[in-house]
Structure 1
Amino acid sequence: MSVESLPLPPSEKPGESLEPPLNGESITWLADGTPYSPRFGDRYRSELGGLDQARQGFLGGCGLPEAWAHASQWRILEIGFGFGLNFLVTWAAWKADPLRPRVLHFASIEAYPVSADDLLRGLPDDPQLQLLAEQLQAQWWGLLPGVHRLSFDNGQVLLTLYVGDAQTVLRKQQLTVDSVYLDGFSPKLNPELWSPEAMKNVARHCRRGTAVASWCIAGSVREGLAQQGFEVRKVPGIPPKRHNLRAVYNPRWEPRHKDDGLPPPVTAPERCLVIGAGLAGAAAAASLARRGWQVSVLDAADAPAAGASGLPSGLFCPHVSPDDSVLSRLSRSGVRTTLQILQQLSIAQLLDQGKDWEHSGVLEHDLHEPVNLPPQWLDAATPQSHAGLQWSCPATPEQLAAAHLPAASHALWHEQAGWVRPAQLVKALLGTAGIRWQGNAPVARLAQTDDALWTAMDAEGKTLAQAEMVVVALGPASTALLQASGLQAGAWEIAPIRGQVSMAAHTAQTRAAMPPFPVNGHGNLVPDFPNAQGQRQWIMGSTFERDVTALPPTQAEQRDAHASNGEKLAALLPECRQALDDFFAAKTQPPTWARVRCAAYDRIPVVGPVELKSNGLWLLTGMGSRGLTLSMLAGELLAARVHGEPLPLDAKLALALHSQRMSARATKT
């Protein structure tokens, strides 16, 4: 953003004026190549390019990179993302520093994101920053109002982008930071950003010792910071500024932060036991291992993903609703996180895109009217229109034709969606450095010693493993383990749900009848994926048998499940169902693939401490039928809670997942 208020001189004419971009802020490009905001009547940066201001004024102004040396994590808050120059400079400094923190958190607020094209155009001519900016641009999509977590360098550089009004964001979001970049347009042009109330909101997110840097030295800003407990001083500026501002949060009083109902954050990674080797357990283990934990994953089976996460193939896909409900917003955050992790694992050659997963898009055949997109997404006059339609939009006639559906069908196209072989994803996650897999290790009870060490024991009382922290991710068996360990979580409303899918190898006839992409609706179809031997298959399902846990299902139950899956397919894709008639009408059918998953009473995952007094014992469960969409996000949320990091999703959404809701409900009933 601007390093000072520099309105256009009367003699200067814009070098180029662009129409407002579909998904970003309208930018005017001046003759000297500087981006200019007609909305605020100000430059985004000085005519000298802004690179020195970013490196010396903000990064250096907060004492970085020296201040973060040997830290396990460093958290930066920026007011005004603009074209991302401060982020890119900080990221480049982190990459170049041998003493860098293991995880760099950069949280930035932007009310009016620029377009993806302008993001690159607005950068100084610096080859290193250009390479980083291209990675940023690749994730610069779907930026609806709210919180977006972007992930780089294998999850060790995390950009949390808050799209919205700075004052509102600072009041509602939960984060504590080590450095603050106070940027933005001039106080004369954007006074609310620099008001005393704004400085109070910034102080809410500071710890004692948090450093602040800014190009703005206005007396009202310095006074506002001083009133909130900052020690403020002017320092020599970066041209064209004569002075810059530096401050340190060091109030005379003891700062108090809102109690979020969680144990105190850990100060350094230690050892952790993850009980359960499905998607949830593997996601938690990988998120913690990326932060330096030594993680042992224990499971009763002799191989990972032996439960519901062993599904041969499944979908990750956003949920949509006209009111953009909690589940809809949660699913978008989940899809973004899942895509990032799949791409990172593919770069690391732990997954094979096209064989283990595909960002294919998913057609949702809506059998009910109307199509349930938020109305503002369909109104081209709203700023949310293009960003929303980058997620989900009405299906095109060509997409309907490819699925052999009538042109009048009600259907959506989810661009940010695809299919995954879950067992391969679990295996790849468990390959993260710092994770040790321990099979044939059925945990029957957990106990905490006087020195706060957790012990996992088998049914005979034999110690299987010990660690400072435990994550229980056993799906439907999670609450039974906690209850057997003398905890109260057994009263929580988490129901087991058996699911059965139908699948078979393709024939030439069935493959020709399949759509070229997965289809979701009442049940879902992954039309073409390879099994372990490379044979092409289709899979359709699943049944939803609440409170049924028996495995394997009886032959009668399997026949009923095949019939149910066939009926769903007939409604979803009638022509495809006809092509599979030999399968569904056969007197002798192959067994269904059946496992048991679980869901909380409100169909929202459970992520949080089991009991506040049980410091170090966490629960991650209740993914229901959305494990591929939500597990990776849930693992990141758990790790963020443990470490006191900026959350990877909106604070209100995070609260909806909190384990305390289960305890509160159990107490009321």
Structure 2
Amino acid sequence: DLRAAWPTAVPGLHRLALDGVTLDLLVGGTPSGWLPEITARVDEFVIPEPLDAMRALSRLAAPNATLRLQAPDEQQLRTLKAAGFSWTGHPGANAESNDGGWLHADYTSRKPQPPMPLPPERRAIVIGAGVAGAAACERLAARSWQVTLIERHEEPAQEASGNRAGIFMPLLSKDDNIPTRLTRAAYLYAMRAWRRVGGLAPDGGAPVLGEQCGVLQLARDEEHAPLQREVVEAWQYPQEFVQWLDADAANAVLGAPTPYGAWLFPQGGWANPASVCRAMLAACGRRLTRIFHAEAITLRRHEAASDGDARGGGAEGEWEVVAADGRVIASAPVVVLANGAGATAIEQAGELPLYTMRGQVTHLAAEAFPKLKMVVCREAYMTPPVQGITSIGATYDRDDDRALRAESQQENLLRAEEILGPERVAAARQAALQGRVGFRTMAPDRLPLVGALPDYGAEAGKAERLRDVKRHEGLYTLLGYASRGLIWSPLAAELLACQLEGEPLPLEATLVAALDPARFVLKARRKL
């Protein structure tokens, strides 16, 4: 089972869910370099060789943690003692001493981590039944939470998650920047998450309608082609993750002339977002209550009054979700906003810097378009036929027009012509064009907002760190997935569930901070 689950050997933190065990593997770098990036409470350290930064272990050590270290020298012993570890006897570096030279130590610092908080009351409301909300329900239900899902439509995946086919692929860059690292982690985790709920099949033979057929990302121009090659060579990625193809090799894969090279992502492909939502929600079983065709308009929290009674008549410390007619839809201690742009209509989230981009996808009958064996993209993407329909898109428009527009259809076909050539797309020009309009919700930095919602009504103060920003107790966000909601949603939901449970986080601390909704609060204050 471990061999089957073993991740692709690319840099980052990889979370594997095995039978009753969660295993995090850190690939690349050094153990000492990883220590500041780990967010966890460690009960036991087993270290086969000394680290350069053993003092940093105290940041992770839970009360009464233990440590085993093989053959420490005197300097390392002094470092451990300064970090708050103690032991009896005199451990030696001689491998022939008792227990092969292993040191057995206990963490007895007078400044340990605070005691583990009490387990949360595992009841939550998730608002929004797209890929963000469905993944949140699945990850919480897997931890025995009772979840109420509120959706304003009659079915899941009716807004941004309603496209026939979304593509999944990583993002590459020469400097391996934060968006690249986040997207790589999300892409790999999403594929494991889909396997966990039953897997993908292009013909309905699995819960998720989709296929790992590969993605061919063509170079934009002659300047971009050598950059593509340099990125692959510099990072020495495994062949199963990405391959660089020169123009001739790309031509052979595409089946059409292309003057430049391409990245080939063999593990990538397409998936139907609605089927992902259905699979995630089905995995929740009886722990999920669905309330559809109900729109959350107002959130109100009942706090304890000075006489001990809860204000407003509700349960103390719970959020109530109120509809437009004043009816209370549901109540729970935790609310997760996963409803895209609709979140900003709720007062507590009204100042989040979210905006939408219109995206129109063109749908063509399979016989009217060249049959592709994999996803192809450059300035646009084209999918293999999905239930007899090829998807081409999507536009990026700064307006809120929900109607299909002829000019947007022609824009998509023009991009297809630039990739495949006018002759191969000529039949599509004569075909009846259908399509779909959706709206991507995104933040100014194009990264999601995952975590506790800042309290914009609180006194600003002089907070300079994320942990100092005041938050709404029990109110969280899974928002701003832009064009990558299909792969972002599983990892973001896992991250939020771990934050709620006090579990080790599935991402490096630097990346978690990059997703924190409060990052915009700090940016705004720094401008003052």
Give the TM-score normalised by the residue count of structure 2: 0.85
Structure 1, unaligned stretches of length 5 or more? 1-131, 185-192, 258-263, 531-535
**SS in structure 1 opposite 2:154?**
coil
Q: In the alignment, is residue 246 of structure 1 matched against residue 113 of structure 2?
A: no
- Matched with 2:461 is none
Where does 1:437-586 land on structure 2 (aligned, <5 Å)? 437-450=290-303, 451-481=316-346, 483=347, 487=348, 489-507=349-367, 510=369, 513-530=370-387, 536-546=388-398, 548-551=399-402, 553=403, 557-574=404-421, 578-586=423-431
Partner residue of 1:596? Answer: 439
Look up the match of 1:149: 15
> In structure 1, what is the equivalent of residue 224 of structure 2?
370
Q: 1:401/1:637 Cα in 2 relative to 1: closer, same or farther (>3 Å)?
A: same
Equivalent of 2:33, from 168, 180, 183?
168
Shift, 1:296, TM fit: 1.2
User: Residues 297, 355 of structure 1: CA spacing in aligned structure 2 closer, same or farther, 3 A cutoff?
Assistant: closer
Q: Which amino acid aligns with 2:502?
A: G
Residues 127 and 150 in structure 2, CA contact (< 8 A), matched pair in contact too: yes
Q: For residues 179 and 134 of structure 2, what CA distance do their matches in structure 1 show?
A: 22
Q: What is the Cα deviation at residue 254 of structure 1? A: 2.5
Amino acid at match of 1:603: R
The structure whose RCO (Cα within 8 Å, separation 6+) is larger is 2
Aligned equivalent of 1:17 = none
- The answer (yes or no) to whether the contact 1:160–1:646 under 8 Å persists in 2 is no
CA distance in 1, matches of 2:160, 2:374: 23
- CA distance in structure 1 between the partners assigned to 2:124 and 2:208 by the alignment: 32
In the TM superposition, residue 590 of structure 1 has moved relative to its aligned partner by 4.1
Contact 2:121–2:333 (CA under 8 A) maintained in structure 1:
no
C-alpha contact (below 8 Å) 1:162/1:169 kept by paired residues: no
Q: What is the CA–CA distance in structure 1 between the aligned matches of 2:205 and 2:138, rounded to whole Å? A: 18
* Pairing partner for 1:414 from 254, 257, 265: 265
Distance 2:120 2:85 in 1: 27
The secondary structure found in structure 1 opposite 2:413 is: helix
CA distance in 2 between counterparts of 1:233 and 1:639 reads 40
Task: Tell me the SS of whatever aligns to 1:306.
Answer: coil
**Local SS of the residue matching 2:383:** strand
Is 1:269–1:292's contact at 8 Å kept on the other side of the alignment? no
**1:295 Cα shift?**
1.3
Please tell me whether the aligned partners of residues 265 and 641 of structure 1 are also in contact (alpha carbons under 8 angstroms): no
- Residue 125 of structure 2 is aligned to residue 273 of structure 1: yes
- Structure 1 CA distance, aligned partners of 2:117 and 2:517? 17
Find the counterpart in structure 2 of residue 10 from structure 1. none
Cross-structure match for 2:467: none
The one-letter amino acid of 1:306's match is: Q
The one-letter amino acid paired with 1:149 is R
Scaled by the length of structure 1, what TM-score is found?
0.68
The whole-number CA distance in structure 2 between the counterparts of 1:135 and 1:183 is 26
Equivalent residues of 1:422, 1:628 under 8 A apart: yes
Partner of 1:610: 453
CA–CA separation in structure 2 for the residues paired with 1:374 and 1:230: 49
CA distance in 2, matches of 1:501, 1:393: 28
Cα distance in 2 between the residues matched to 1:596 and 1:524: 17
Question: One-letter code of the match for 2:98?
Answer: R
CA contact (8 A) 2:166 2:270 kept: yes
Equivalent pair of 2:58/2:112 in contact (CA under 8 Å): no
Shift of 1:524: 0.5
Q: Residues 411-447 of structure 1, C-alpha deviation per residue, up to 9 Å, x if partnerless?
A: 1111231110100000100112322222112111111
| Deviation of 1:265 (Å) | 6.6
- Asked whether the equivalents of residues 235 and 245 of structure 1 are also in contact (C-alpha less than 8 Å), the reply is no
Matches of 1:431 and 1:266 in 2, distance apart?
29
- Are 1:269 and 1:291, in contact at CA under 8 Å, matched by a contact in 2? no
Structure 1 residues 295 and 332: CA distance shift in structure 2, 3 A: same
Tell me, what secondary structure is at the counterpart of 1:653? helix
How has the CA–CA distance of structure 1 residues 347 and 354 changed in structure 2, closer, same or farther, with 3 Å as cutoff? closer
- In 1, the alpha carbon distance for the partners of 2:364 and 2:76 equals 67
Amino acid at match of 2:291: Q
In structure 2, give the amino acid aligned to 1:525. Answer: M
| C-alpha distance in structure 2 between counterparts of 1:411 and 1:348, whole Å | 26
SS at match of 1:624: coil
Partner of 2:64: 209
Is contact 1:561–1:592 with CA below 8 Å preserved after alignment?
A: no
8 Å CA contact retained: 1:474, 1:621: yes
Match of 1:107 in 2: none
CA shift for structure 1 position 151: 3.3
Which runs of 4 or more aligned residues in structure 1 lie more than 6 Å from their structure 2 counterparts after TM superposition?
234-237
The residue that corresponds to 1:227 in the other structure is: 82
Contact 2:194 2:208 in 1 (8 A): no
Q: Shift of the alpha carbon at 1:408? A: 3.5
Q: State the distance in 2 between where 1:241 and 1:514 align.
A: 69
Question: What CA distance in whole angstroms lies between the structure 1 residues aligned with 2:446 and 2:378?
Answer: 17
Name the residue aligned to 1:393: 243
**Identity percentage over the alignment?**
27
- Distance in 1 between residues matched to 2:491 and 2:68, nearest whole Å: 32
Spell out the pairing of 1:3-14 with structure 2 (5 A cutoff).
Answer: none
Name the counterpart of 1:182. Answer: 47
Residue 618 of structure 1: CA displacement? 0.4
- Which structure 2 residues correspond to residues 307-346 of structure 1 after superposition, within 5 A? 307-346=159-198
Deviation of 1:639 after TM superposition, in Å, equals 1.7
1:8 corresponding residue in structure 2: none
Paired residue secondary structure (1:438): strand
- Amino acid of the residue matched to residue 626 of structure 1? R
8 Å CA contact retained: 1:476, 1:496? yes
